Amino acid sequence: MSLPRSYDAGVLSALGALDAKSIKHVFFIACGGSLSIMHPAKFLLDQHSPLASDVYNAAEFVSRAPRSLDEKSLVILCSMTGTTKETTAAAEFARSKGAVTIGLTVEPASPLATAVDHVVGFEAPYTTGVPIDAKNSNYARIYQIVMGLVALAGGEDLTQPLVASLDALQPAIDRAQETFAPAFEDFAPRFAKQDVIYTMASGASYGAAYSFAICVLMEMQWINSQAIHANEFFHGPFEVLDKDRCFILLKGLDSTRPLEERADGFLHRFGSAENLLVLDAERLDLAGIDPVFAGNLVPLIFFDTLWRFAYKVAELRKHEMLEARRYMKKIAY
């Protein structure tokens, strides 16, 4: 079989060089925001292939040194700038064990790009401020890698519907901005006053919830947060819920949606609707996105639209989104 010509050139080149049938284990490795895309990547792989895989923070991966890492492993790494030291070290470690490495980065001359066997470029709006098409995002690239690998390893070939779905993604995001705008306008003044805001999701959307909690709320707004898994919620965390507590709940379209629906019901039973910002993918117009990938693509819609919400909150807090940092890239650590 061969991959669609419309696939990203970097992905085609990386997968073309791979003996896909020899791969026994995939490692998805990164830190922070880049790690957040690895959870949905594994979710996609889990549902389409029996291939074993792990998601690890890059430093955890190196110091854990799993025995399953060997020359039959494919290690997929991501760092937006390509300068994340832990991720570059993880690439070097993986290669020293004989594994094949693919590095996703915006910067083709970065340390990560130099450390890996194959570089896959992507675009990111929040480095340059220039809007991108979501089909060129890191999510899109890693989904192409995963479904390409599935097809090349002898599994189902869903690469054509994936490409078509990614082409339809940016228009769906643009429409979603309008769908969610009134809620963002409504909730921002209340959420801007909070010291604690939780995010919640499951399945393919968990990574988006994680990223919004640690990179946006904690890092950019210094608001205390945690991404709570929608079912783990019922096994401890729900006890912090009261009428004043604020949650952002992502209700996706993947097979774990019933978990998010159950959490939604509980939140509304014991919390206040005005403190519960629920993004429900069922409200979205996903024209052109193949139903088989809808659950995998809505997390990008959630995350992209939530940026608008974050900027509204930041403005009300008078707390700069991209400049207000105490530590990150301000000091050596």
Residues at the contact surface with its own copies, assessed by CB under 8 A: 25, 31-33, 35, 43, 46-52, 54, 57-60, 63-68, 70, 84, 86, 195-196, 202-203, 213-215, 218-220, 222-226, 229, 231-232, 234-242, 255-256, 258-259, 266, 269-270, 325-328, 333
Minimum separation from the CB atom of position 142 to its own copies (A):
18
Closer to its own copies at the Cβ: 180 or 302? Answer: 302
Minimum separation from the CB atom of position 182 to its own copies (A):
29
HSE-up (13 A, CA, CB side) for residue 210: 17
Closer to its own copies at the Cβ: 5 or 330? Answer: 330
Minimum separation from the CB atom of position 137 to its own copies (A):
19
Closer to its own copies at the Cβ: 137 or 202? Answer: 202
How many Å apart are CA 317 and CA 194, to the nearest integer?
10
Minimum separation from the CB atom of position 163 to its own copies (A):
22
Phi–psi pair at 49, nearest 5 degrees: -155, 145
Closer to its own copies at the Cβ: 25 or 175? Answer: 25
How many Å apart are CA 316 and CA 128, to the nearest integer?
24
Closer to its own copies at the Cβ: 43 or 187? Answer: 43
How many Å apart are CA 296 and CA 300, to the nearest integer?
8
Confirm if 18 and 120 have CB atoms less than 8 A apart. no
Closer to its own copies at the Cβ: 183 or 218? Answer: 218
DSSP 8-state code for residue 205: G
How many Å apart are CA 119 and CA 54, to the nearest integer?
20
Minimum separation from the CB atom of position 179 to its own copies (A):
25
Number of neighbouring beta carbons within 10 Å of residue 293: 24
Minimum separation from the CB atom of position 233 to its own copies (A):
9
**DSSP state string for 135-179:** GGSHHHHHHHHHHHHHHHTTS---HHHHHHHHHTHHHHHHHHHHH
Minimum separation from the CB atom of position 315 to its own copies (A):
18
- Residue whose tokens read 């450390």: 115
Q: Where are the alpha helices (DSSP H) in 250-333?
A: 257-270, 291-317
Residue type, 3: L
Per-residue buried b or exposed e for 229-260, using 16+ beta carbons within 10 Å of the residue's own CB: bbeebeeeeeeebeeebbbbbbbbbbebbebb
Closer to its own copies at the Cβ: 163 or 215? Answer: 215
Minimum separation from the CB atom of position 89 to its own copies (A):
11
Closer to its own copies at the Cβ: 86 or 280? Answer: 86
Closer to its own copies at the Cβ: 42 or 312? Answer: 42
Minimum separation from the CB atom of position 23 to its own copies (A):
12
Element (H, E) at 126: helix 125-128
* Residues contacting residue 147 through CB under 8 Å, at least 6 positions apart: 44, 48, 158, 159, 162
